[in-house]
Structure 1
Amino acid sequence: MIEVVQGSLPIVLGLPHTGTEVPPDIWEGLNETGRALADTDWHIDRLYNGLGLDVSTVRTPIHRYVIDVNRSPEDNSLYPGLNTTGLCPLTDFDGKVIHLEGAAPDAAEIARRKEAYHTPYHDALSTELARVKAKHGVVLLYDCHSIRSVIPYLFEETLPDLNIGTNSSQSCSPIMERVVHTRCRAAQDYRTALNGRFKGGWTTRHYGKPAQNQHALQMELAQSTYMDERPPWQWRADKAERLRPVLYRILNDLIELLNERPLR
């Protein structure tokens, strides 16, 4: 079920939210809002694919409304005091209920989904990170995300275009954070935030262990940079082809840095 592509370079791309598969029994419990699957990280796998860099990828095809693999198994809030969605979301990013009445998952169903979908994703991700680290002595998990640029329920005003999350500078080396931030700020026509509204999800926080030569960061892109932010969520080649070289330079900078170990 989990899709793993093994690369030769010291970077693993995490793709936790590009999947749109919903098992039939769960689909039957979703209402019209839930079945819209509006909170998908649309086209993110396509955006990073074919950049000419032989990096590993780990992707789940399962939609986040089934279970969000970027949340902790204990369903602890990533952003206490702020609106967010949980391990098995009950609402979408606009705060609207996504299940038919009486169909929201109970504790037993959440436990079943963790075993069926959450654990396999992280088993695969852990395995690939370990393989790459064994080969290179160092590894970076680059967690790929996107979100609509205007969602009042989650954040005020318009989201910056490139949002770097390093768990407040704890999930990767300072020089790695600086290299990515510098590259993003140099990208013309794009606004950048470092550890702003998005500081990195549970995946970034869980796997980022710089002292053990295992680094992690999250890149949250505003979807307005490469697609239409309304149904049918169309890919915009004119926008995407401007953004893809920026993503290439970010990843290439990181590869060069990782090859210069030790990181300082």
Structure 2
Amino acid sequence: MNETDPSVEFHPPFLCAEPDRQRFPFVFNAPHAGSVYPASFLSGSHLDAVALRRSEDAFVDRLFAPVVRLGAPLISARFPRAYLDVNREPYELDPRMFDGKLPPYANTRSMRVAGGLGTIPRIVADGHDIYRGRLPVAEALRRIELLYKPYHRLLRTRLARTVELFGQVVLIDCHSMPSTSLNREDLVRADVVLGDRYGTSCAGLLTDLVDAALRERGYAVVRNKPYAGGFITEHYGAPALGRHSLQIEINRALYMDERTLQPGAGFGRLTEDLTDCFADVMMEVGGGLEPTRIAAE
């Protein structure tokens, strides 16, 4: 495995698009939209770039890009989820993947590790193994130190700055889901899944507002099944402290060809609808999520 500094390989590894002035207590985050695949990573994989991209939330950063002109920042990763997943605990690591001993604080027994989708994933979304052989433990720790920790440091800083400006913050964690994950009878028509950790990561009012705004535009919305929100939603959501976190999963069939991984005919309309939806939600929320404050805006 090439030991090039991964923070250099991605030039830069993540971005934060800032509005001229932040107008709302919202921060948008696209942690799985990264599409830069270093040659060193590709050469160590069984899979080609197209197969690796099956785990990618392709184009989600572009779908949500207009929120910046509305007055909210958008953070997005450029490194791919198959390389490093920042929507996990920092050390959810599978010991079967590595040569050498993992640190004692590594979480080697989580359900996500067992499924092959830890901080350094073992498989892509369709279940194929990523790597030709084992990775050095030092390689995993390097990615965590130089990519994972700086990403979360940026996210924490941006959330804290928003709290300073508005007294609270709403994190919208932006993802996409393969249409094949919705084959179960009760989910066939789901265009969007909203995950609020079953009501624990944000005020119910926020979920209600986003749900209603999407339904008004003709989208079928499901809550928490099969995606209730990952590490980011859970870790940064503390509604009692004025820190609200909501995950949004968008059915990829709405905006892209899932076979060719290219934007589809619905891309423009979905982008406009998401922009209008969150413009309405942010105006409704105004400076905070307390019902009395909203009514006064």
User: Is 204-213 or 175-184 further displaced after alignment?
Assistant: 175-184
Tell me what 2:290 maps to: 263
Judge conservation of contact 2:196–2:202 (CA < 8 Å) in 1: yes
2:246 to 217, 222, 225: 217
Q: What CA distance in whole angstroms lies between the structure 1 residues aligned with 2:17 and 2:181? A: 33
Judge conservation of contact 2:16–2:75 (CA < 8 Å) in 1: yes
Tell me what 2:190 maps to: 160
Judge conservation of contact 2:65–2:74 (CA < 8 Å) in 1: no
Structure 1, unpaired ranges of 5+: none
Q: What CA distance in whole angstroms lies between the structure 2 residues aligned with 1:83 and 1:32? A: 19
Mark the CA change 1:18 to 1:81 in structure 2 (over 3 Å): closer, same or farther: closer
Give 1:82 deviation, angstroms.
9.1
Mapped pair 1:44 → 2:72: no
TM-score, structure 1 as length reference: 0.88
Mark the CA change 1:211 to 1:199 in structure 2 (over 3 Å): closer, same or farther: same
2:202 to 172, 175, 179: 172
Tell me what 1:72 maps to: 89
Q: What CA distance in whole angstroms lies between the structure 2 residues aligned with 1:261 and 1:15? A: 23
1:109 to 139, 142, 148: 139
Judge conservation of contact 1:150–1:159 (CA < 8 Å) in 2: no
Mark the CA change 1:128 to 1:260 in structure 2 (over 3 Å): closer, same or farther: closer
Q: Match for 2:238: what amino acid?
A: K
Judge conservation of contact 2:42–2:48 (CA < 8 Å) in 1: no
Give 1:78 deviation, angstroms.
7.8
SS of 1:150's equivalent? helix
Q: Match for 1:249: what amino acid?
A: D
Q: What CA distance in whole angstroms lies between the structure 1 residues aligned with 2:199 and 2:113? A: 21
Structure 2, unpaired ranges of 5+: 1-11, 93-106, 292-297
User: Is 142-151 or 46-55 further displaced after alignment?
Assistant: 46-55
Judge conservation of contact 1:163–1:219 (CA < 8 Å) in 2: yes
How many equivalent pairs are there? 257
Tell me what 2:16 maps to: 4
1:108-153 deviation digits (Å, cap 9, x = unpaired): 322221101111110011111111111111211111111211148x
Give 1:198 deviation, angstroms.
0.6
Give 1:243 deviation, angstroms.
1.8
Mapped pair 1:242 → 2:269: yes
Mark the CA change 1:196 to 1:144 in structure 2 (over 3 Å): closer, same or farther: same
Judge conservation of contact 1:33–1:97 (CA < 8 Å) in 2: no
Identity of aligned residues (%): 30
Mark the CA change 1:45 to 1:131 in structure 2 (over 3 Å): closer, same or farther: same
Q: What CA distance in whole angstroms lies between the structure 2 residues aligned with 1:117 and 1:156? A: 36
Judge conservation of contact 1:227–1:240 (CA < 8 Å) in 2: yes
Tell me what 1:128 maps to: 158
Judge conservation of contact 1:13–1:144 (CA < 8 Å) in 2: yes
1:140 to 166, 170, 174: 170
1:138-191 deviation digits (Å, cap 9, x = unpaired): 211111111211148xx7464721110111111111111111122223332x32
Q: What CA distance in whole angstroms lies between the structure 2 residues aligned with 1:81 and 1:39? A: 16
SS of 1:204's equivalent? helix
Tell me what 1:203 maps to: 232
User: Is 108-117 or 245-254 further displaced after alignment?
Assistant: 245-254
SS of 1:32's equivalent? coil
Mark the CA change 1:30 to 1:96 in structure 2 (over 3 Å): closer, same or farther: same
Aligned-residue CA RMSD in angstroms? Answer: 2.5
